[in-house]
Amino acid sequence: MNTGSTTPAPTSTLDIGIGGMTCASCVARVEKALKRVPGVQDASVNLATESARVVYAPSEQMQARLLRAVRDAGYEPRAADAAVTAVDASPWSGFAPVALGLALSAPLVLPMLGDLFGQHWMLPALWQFLLATPVQFVLGARFYKAGWHALKNFSGNMDLLVAIGTSASWALSVWLWLSAAPGAMAHLYFESSAIVVSLVLLGKWLEGRAKRQTTAAIRALHALRPDVAHLIGADGEVDVPLAEVLVGDSLVVKPGERFPVDGELLEGQTQVDESMLTGEPLPVAKDAGAALTGGSINGEGRVVMRVRAVGSETVLAHIIRLVEDAQAAKAPIQRMVDQVSAVFVPVVLLIALVTLLAWWGSGAPFELALIRAVAVLVIACPCALGLATPAAIMTGTGVAAKHGILIKDALALELAHKVDVVAFDKTGTLTVGRPQLTALKVEADVLEDELLALAASLQSGSEHPLARAVVAAAKARQLPLLAPENVRSVPGRGSEGLVGARCLLIGSLRWMDELQVDLGAMAAVAKQRQAQGATVSAVAERTTEGLRLRALMAFGDEPKPGAKEALAALRARGIRTVMISGDNRGAAEAMARQLGLRPEDGEVMAEVLPGDKMARVLELKQGGHVVAMVGDGVNDAPALAAADVGLAMGNGTDVAMHAAGITLMRGDPLLVAAAFDISDRTVAKIRQNLFWAFAYNVAGIPLAALGFLNPVLAGAAMAMSSVSVMSNALLLKRWKPTK
């Protein structure tokens, strides 16, 4: 019997741009069409970005099948980033059909205004027909086309409601005109059909303008990449397209230009504006060997850089991908809206039919009953429902990215406002992460410099902060280092290896205790240093007589600027904060008190091995809390993934940033509270939008059915509902992190 674990089947992801969607019902229909394609595992459609993300099992011609499915559903497949990268030449682009519709409809509305002042300016029926018909069937052709596709797929959408409602109004007017007695002035409803079509077109145009503002963050990020780089080739400096730049090339970057790709500074000194990455406006000094990020702006110096990453591997490309992923993702709350929208249009059609029959059956003229039904159809269009959530998410993630907070998925954005416990990794997150060797206590028969040189030699290949502190201390004393041999790292404890002919072990006091190393009189020194907040490590040597202690090393770190204020800001929001540290309890609690944490209230978890951080996060979750984890290292990745919301410091490792739902590009602890704040505000906008979208339909449909709204007012209200939802979402663009 095969007991081996089965590997999950490989999947691929494809983004597709979709043109022609108008409301939440369109979203449901496209998703349904895509999910019917064999091999598709999931499909998520976003109305605001006019795109779909499809997860599928790789197979031949899958992309062609998906594009065909979109077209067969009645929509236009496009490039995935068409809605984002398209930049209109004028803010009035696309307004011509709207202007024409309003111009043709205006003479039909004038008689209604004249009635208010006792004037009768009614146009002859033929003139009304000639003005309304091109609006209905030329400018309104899009509604018929999209509505017909919906009918063919046995579903409904906003276009179908508009097409049925305005056609009924137009047809009723033609019938009343042709059936009227010669010379009689029949009451016609051409103005209703023309004005509704024009107002809906106006609403869609305003909505499109607002959508372009929500994608401004992505367009701004794309614009950070220059088209040309100055390559140093065999024949000197030459300009080449960015796509031809290779890793290892040397590029010249002139003052004021953007760095085209990621790399390191080879020649020159400069100040670099990295605000597009970090949100921090102050320029950063760069010397030879410093890392440079594509998209940042060179200061006053002409410099030469060596290329380290190009294309999709650059930091900027990674940021764009994160923001695009977040904006394309569907928040859990949106799925409920989609379920409602799927049945919304059929229910509205039924309500309109009941309205028609009820008014007619109660003795009202047929034309009045039909107008009441038309008003129901027009006011019920679910545009606002489809835009409520994605518009807020796009704006919220865009403005967050502008200030150095990269939100990777909509789930993290929606969950962050519910967080009531935040667990922080200590080193590199709450502290500077560059501990220094503050004391070295050696045994009586050991020379201090000799011991430090041996310890630094053993640690010379390690990236651990304490190891780097030992090496830095040895270099400061200009001590010679030897190449270690057979170095073995023991995770969470220390390392062992040969330096020359001596076998040394450097690690935590807990490891020494496990190895039964006798600290002797040094035990009191260790306790004293720990009580003062130092992290204490021991150096032992493996001899013929067993393990013998040779020295104790005390390390000190300092809180990150803003860390104490960040914890206070979270506490002010009613959020409990916890520090997780691998240090001994004395050192961890001493640092915690510097940061304003209260160890007596359980706000410090000390002596936690790297592999146990995830278990501590899970313990907090099991207590019924919504937990966020903030970290920066490889060993934080499991805990970041296990938390409800993971926040990775941007100065940390790629592994941590991949595991986290939110990345803080500046590595500033104050951005943690800012991330929760933008989450709060975005979710509040989603709820406001959904409330008004639902309230508008809940209130509007009965008013129309009872005769309190005519089709013209219903059309205006329907158009403005979408615009109000988009405008409300765009208010998020004014958000700034609290200083």
The answer on 77 and 103 residing in a single domain is no
Give the tokens for residue 412: 């993290």
pLDDT tens, 264-317? Answer: 999 998 988 877 666 555 688 888 889 998 988 898 889 999 999 998 888 888
Asked if residue 717 belongs to a domain, the reply is: yes
Alpha-carbon distance of 295 to 390, in angstroms, equals 27
Integer CA distances (angstroms), 450 to 458, 480, 508, 609, in order: 13, 9, 21, 31
Distance CA 573, CA 575 (A): 6
259: domain CATH number is 2.70.150.10
692: left (phi over 0), alpha (psi -120 to 50) or beta: alpha
Residue 103 is predicted with a pLDDT of 93
Distance CA 645, CA 668 (A): 17
The answer to whether position 2 is within a domain reads no
Which residues does 696 contact at the CB level (< 8 Å), separation at least 6? Answer: 384, 717, 721
| DSSP β-ladder status, 297-298 and 270-273 | antiparallel
Q: Which among 468, 326, 490 has a CA at the least distance from the CA of 401?
A: 326
Residues 206 and 337 in one domain: yes
Q: Copy the structure tokens of residue 523.
A: 């035990």
Radius of gyration over alpha carbons of the chain, in Å?
A: 34
Tokens 């309230």 label which residue?
695
Residue 227 lies in a domain: no
Instruction: Identify whether 498 is part of a domain.
Output: yes
- Identify whether 4 is part of a domain: no
Crossing angle of helices 332-361 and 383-402, rounded to 10°: 150
Catalytic residue among 81, 273, 409, 425: 425
Query: Which CATH number do you get for residue 424?
Result: 3.40.50.1000
Query: What is the CATH number for 489?
Result: 3.40.1110.10
Alpha carbon distances (Å) from 564 to 288, 559, 561, 579, 649: 34, 8, 8, 12, 16
Look up the domain containing 52 and give its range.
12-85
pTM, rounded to two decimals: 0.67
Calpha distance 232→289 (Å, rounded): 18
Which tokens hold the place of 600? 């007596």
Residues 330 and 185 in one domain: yes
Residue ranges of the chain with per-residue pLDDT less than 70: 1-9, 80-90, 112-121, 158, 207, 210-218, 276-282, 322-323, 326-331, 333-339, 341-342, 381-383, 386, 633-635, 651-659, 739
What is the CA angle 404-407-413, rounded to 5? 125
Q: Judge if 60 and 201 occupy the same domain.
A: no
From 556, 590, 620, the end of a domain falls on 556
Q: How far apart are CA 124 and CA 194, in angstroms?
A: 16
How many residues in total does the chain contain?
A: 739
> Is 632 annotated as catalytic?
no
Same domain, 75 and 44: yes
Q: Is the residue at 229 inside a domain?
A: no
Question: What region, left, alpha or beta, does residue 726 occupy, with left being phi > 0 and alpha being psi -120 to 50 degrees?
Answer: alpha
525 located within any domain: yes
Total domain count, the chain: 5
Judge if 201 and 338 occupy the same domain: yes
Contact 409, 661 (CB under 8 A): yes
Residue pLDDT, tens place only, 81-96: 655 555 554 677 788 9
If asked whether residues 105 and 180 sit together in one domain, one would say yes
CATH number of the domain where residue 22 is located: 3.30.70.100
- Compute the distance between CA of residue 678 and CA of residue 417 in angstroms, rounded to an integer: 9
Three-class SS state of 674? helix
- Looking at 85, 104, 123, the residue that finishes a domain is 85
What separation in angstroms does the CA of 377 have from each of 373, 374, 712?
Answer: 6, 5, 12
Name the nearest CA neighbour of 430 among 305, 586, 591.
591
Q: How many CB atoms lie within 10 A of CB 235?
A: 6
Clarify whether residues 578 and 676 are in a common domain. Answer: yes
- Looking at 64, 85, 106, the residue that finishes a domain is 85
Q: At a CB cut-off of 8 Å and minimum separation 6, what does 437 contact?
A: 469, 470, 472, 473, 553, 554, 555
Residue with tokens 């033929």: 126
For residue 380, give the H/E element and its range: none
Q: Are residues 636 and 724 in the same domain?
A: no
Taking phi over 0 as left and psi of -120 to 50 as alpha, with beta for the rest, 279 belongs to left
User: Phi, psi (5° rounding) for residue 669?
Assistant: -60, -25
Q: Using an 8 Å Cβ cutoff, are 158 and 22 in contact?
A: yes
User: Do both 503 and 591 map to the same domain?
Assistant: no
Residue 419, pLDDT score: 94
Selection from 261, 341, 337 nearest residue 298 by Cα: 261
Q: Distance from CA of residue 320 to its chain's centroid? A: 10
| 257 and 301 share one domain | yes
Residue 280, classed as helix, strand or coil, is coil
Sign, CA dihedral 43-44-45-49, equals: negative
In angstroms, the CA 52 to CA 59 distance is 19
CA–CA distances in Å: residue 675 to residues 244, 309, 389, 570, 672: 38, 29, 18, 11, 5
How does 512-533 read in b/e, with b if 16+ C-beta sit within 10 Å? Answer: beebebebeebeebbeebbeeb
Helix (H) or strand (E) holding 297: strand 297-298
DSSP 526: H
What pLDDT score was predicted for residue 135? 95
Laid out side by side, the sheet with 262-267 consists of 236-241, 228-233, 250-253, 303-309, 262-267, 291-292
Cα–Cα separations (whole angstroms), residue 692 to 80, 381, 668: 30, 14, 37
Taking the CB of residue 297, how many other CB atoms lie within 10 A of it? Answer: 19
Q: Are residues 663 and 566 in the same domain?
A: yes
Give domain status of residue 652, yes or no: yes
SS3 437: strand
- Which residues share a beta bridge with 250? 306
User: What 3-state DSSP class applies to 286?
Assistant: strand
| 3-class DSSP state of 545 | coil
